[in-house]
Structure 1
Amino acid sequence: MSDVIHSDIRIRPPSVPSRMAASFARAGRKLAAEPLGLAGFLILGLLCLIAIFAPLLAPYDPVIQSLGDALQPPSLAHPAGTDEFGRDILSRLIFGTRITIQTVLSISLIVGPIGLLIGVVAGFFGGRIDALLMRATDIVLSFPSLILALAFAAALGAGLITAIIAISLTAWPPIARLARAEALVVRNADYVVAARLYGASPIRILLLYIAPMCIPSVIVRLTLNMAGIILTAASLGFLGLGAQPPAPEWGAMISNGRKFMLDYWWVAVMPGIAILLTSLAFNIAGDALRDILDPRHARS
């Protein structure tokens, strides 16, 4: 007579909260050792604070015109000068930070889940599903993102919401391809194979075992893409397809200031500097996140 021993073995994915807590602790230690990356995160934190407390920080109303103060150079009263309508440029830059942060966060919240979902589904199921989803991704990638965003924005009509939708429709393919590559690796991990043997459903494996493991890489890619999103949004604003006047959108401010570039350089240069610093901060922060979350890209 043989004894049959039944063991109640439960195959669980790595605890996501515990892994996240440990990852944050390691990230904090690594970030402290990278002054440049820390500076990028500090600038981004400062921008978020400026966006939140814009009404308290702005010395003037950003939309009220004062033609008697038109095109004043930088001074103590107007540190960044005034535009052709006498509006304080510094106040408009401060309120424009709100528009920029809102645009970046909105697009990231749309693009991240869509790209992650498409990528992990394609990578996990493979076969015809993978071929269909990746061919659709390749079709979108075959068009220059700015040109495609311009086409969508022109079709949907000018405005901040339509600009966000237009950019989102063109920004998800790189996220999807990255998530697919990660899913192709994770689906062959030991704990995923064990979960299949234990009888876990494909949806359970997809949502609890594979998708959480792809999130760090997606976050890094989103952070690196934010600089491009800012430039695309500014380009739409420059062409009049973004936030509409009198909203202080940085791209629209550059567009208005280009007419006075030779004699009143500050009207266009100040918002250009704001775009440059914000894009640079996102690039630096993205590089730091990549080094922290992915040891394969760690600096030597």
Structure 2
Amino acid sequence: MASRSIFQVHVFLILALATTAFSKALSPYYYEKVCPKALPTIKRIVEAAVSKERRMGASLLRLHNHDCFVQGCDASVLLDATSTIDSEKNAFSNINSARGFEVIDKIKKKVDKICGRPVVSCADILAVAARDSVVALGGPTWKVPLGRRDSNTANRTLANSDIPSPFMDLPALIDNFKKHGLGERDLVALSGGHTLGFAHCRNFRERIYSGTNINSDFAKKRRKTCPRKGGDTKLAPIDPTPARFDNSYFSNLLKEKGLFVSDQALFSNGSTDGLVKTYSYNPKAFSTDFVKSMIKMGNIKVLTGKRGQIRKNCRKVNSYY
């Protein structure tokens, strides 16, 4: 009888732990009952924004990525500066660079109206908007796990140290991603998001004027719009098709035409060379791994259950905190 009782206790504990883990897990169907119109609403607004300005797709993808690398995927990147909030918008990687906040505001306002109350978190809006942006620009789709809650803090210092820098070499990139539970395949696949969008001159100037592993014609072309001094915010496409999700980013790296030091670092006689080659001739492999890595990244240190809050305004913490 004693052994049977012990067995029953073990079974109970296992089931209890499983239930706890499940209750805290994200699910693609999180809003299916509470607000089934939420996701279609996000999609419509993202598609309209990207149709109006193709560059916005890359900006919304980048917002989600930069959010997840600081404190986890908790919408901390959206918080404005206050006496108690040191906004991540002022971090080096975001200041005068991060965009799309107005689109997120529009989504939040519309979704809350349709749902009848603030039920969809800003963190989930970022994750879904990133997916819908990729799809709008010809990329793969996936079911986004949902159920994140929003933070009531931001951390500019952490943003300065944890968001991958365009000046990082391969060992630094690998260490940075490892710190967030992401491996080398995640590093290369997620870097492929640079197939979309533009970059500021300040982030690639040193490479085009002093880089050694750079195509000379490519460097000359980029110098025409990025002077040695000044013009920090002048833009250049990160790859030849900045408004289309494809694998040309990786083909560019094989020709030493990576715009950032961190881009070319992925193909520089290092451990990630093989993946770059694979993605350059196999777009399906890239898309498949990109989706897996986006889902994995989207699960970094998420707030669920009673942790965090559902913000009424994505730019500020609810007043009862």
Please report the TM-score for the alignment, with normalisation by the length of structure 1. Answer: 0.27
| Structure having the higher Rg | 1
Please report the TM-score for the alignment, with normalisation by the length of structure 2. Answer: 0.26
